[in-house]
Amino acid sequence: MAESRWQYFERLVAAIHKAADAGASVKWNDTINGRQFDVTIRFRKGLYDHLTVVECKDYEKPVPIEKVEAFITKSRDAQANVAVLASASGFQSGAKDTASRHNITLLHVTPSDEVAPSIFGAEFGDLIDILQIEQITLEFADGERKALPSKGNVLTYYANHTTLECGGKPVTLDSVIDGWLLPTGRIVPDGEHSISVLEGTIVTGPQDAVIPLKKLARIRIQTLMTKARALHGPNMIDPSFLVPDINVQNVSTGEVKTFKYRELALGIDNAFLPGKFYEAPGLAYFYFCKQVRDDGIAEIWMVESFQHGQLLQAKLTMEAKYGNLYIPVTDKSTIERLQRRLDRLRD
């Protein structure tokens, strides 16, 4: 993902309110009286203007009481009619009590437990045990370590397209890892494991400047035994398409509302601009806007998408109004990587 986790969570919460509050003006990263708010919602009802301010917390642990106390003062300074604290990890009991006393709405925002593949004419099989490789890190002879990108199916791509060579026929990184995993009787516990390579082994990655071209010392893999379901259907469906919907629970009332992820305008009020890169964050696919025609059609190039372990690129068109489903890419290193892929696509 080009943006940080907390930025993505803020956009997600803003998009949820955009979907829930038809006709309201929803802004991400707004400022009121010199103070920043992650999301603001404004609307007029009858003779009166209403303001809702939202603070977003994408923490690993439940939000503590002091964060609620700080938000009470901040929301009052903005003279908000409604104050909302949204968390990805829930709230401590003291935080809930304080929010209740000061009329702060607490929202717990989480992915839904189920993903329905029926939209693709597919269905899940039974749960089975699988060994999942969560991370691959290359350790070079000079001591440098390089963790391969792991978002979505990109890890499979790099494992398939990174080669190792030491005086003979080059072999792919995934075949080396498979050869280490497959011997009869090998039990691989959860955790990090080290795979040795011959001295003088040279590693070569895809032509995107992600992996240095130099001597390799060893391969480190992070494994996890987990449960998974086989996917059955008439077509080959990449698992990255199966994005869960979003559940939003009002902590005070216990009410849960579900929002379809694919319909959330994570770009908020974004519009396509020629010469700019964009991301579909749920899929981790990246696009380039070539031009927006006078008839309102945007010519888009899919510059980077990893499906079934392969890099897929395409040229397509769509109505420019759907730009609000995509997030502009602002990270410099991501733009540089995408520009290299775009240059080769143009060639």
Q: Does residue 13 have a pLDDT over 80?
A: yes
- 35-61 confidence digits (pLDDT tens): 999 999 999 988 989 999 999 999 999
Weakest mean pLDDT among 92-96, 136-140, 141-145, 207-211: 207-211
Q: Does residue 187 have a pLDDT over 80?
A: no
Is there a single domain that holds both residue 19 and residue 53?
Answer: yes
SS3 category, 151 = coil
What is the DSSP code (8-state) at residue 99? H
Residue 333 has phi, psi (to 5 degrees) of -65, -35
For residue 152, what pLDDT is reported?
64
What is the DSSP code (8-state) at residue 148? P
Q: Does residue 208 have a pLDDT over 70?
A: no
Is there a single domain that holds both residue 227 and residue 256?
Answer: no
What's the CATH number where 96 sits?
A: 3.40.1350.10
Model pTM above 0.75: yes
Domain edge (last residue) among 232, 261, 286: 232
Is there a single domain that holds both residue 24 and residue 167?
Answer: no
- For residues 95 and 249, what is the distance between their CA atoms, to the nearest angstrom? 16
Domain that holds residue 224: 123-232
Most confident of 57-61, 280-284, 309-313: 57-61
165 neighbors 202 (Cβ within 8 angstroms): yes
Q: Does residue 3 have a pLDDT over 70?
A: no
Most confident of 17-21, 105-109, 205-209: 105-109
Is there a single domain that holds both residue 129 and residue 219?
Answer: yes
Q: Does residue 181 have a pLDDT over 60?
A: yes
What band does 251 get if pLDDT is binned at 50, 70 and 90?
A: very high
Is there a single domain that holds both residue 197 and residue 95?
Answer: no
Average pLDDT in the 226-246 region? Answer: 81
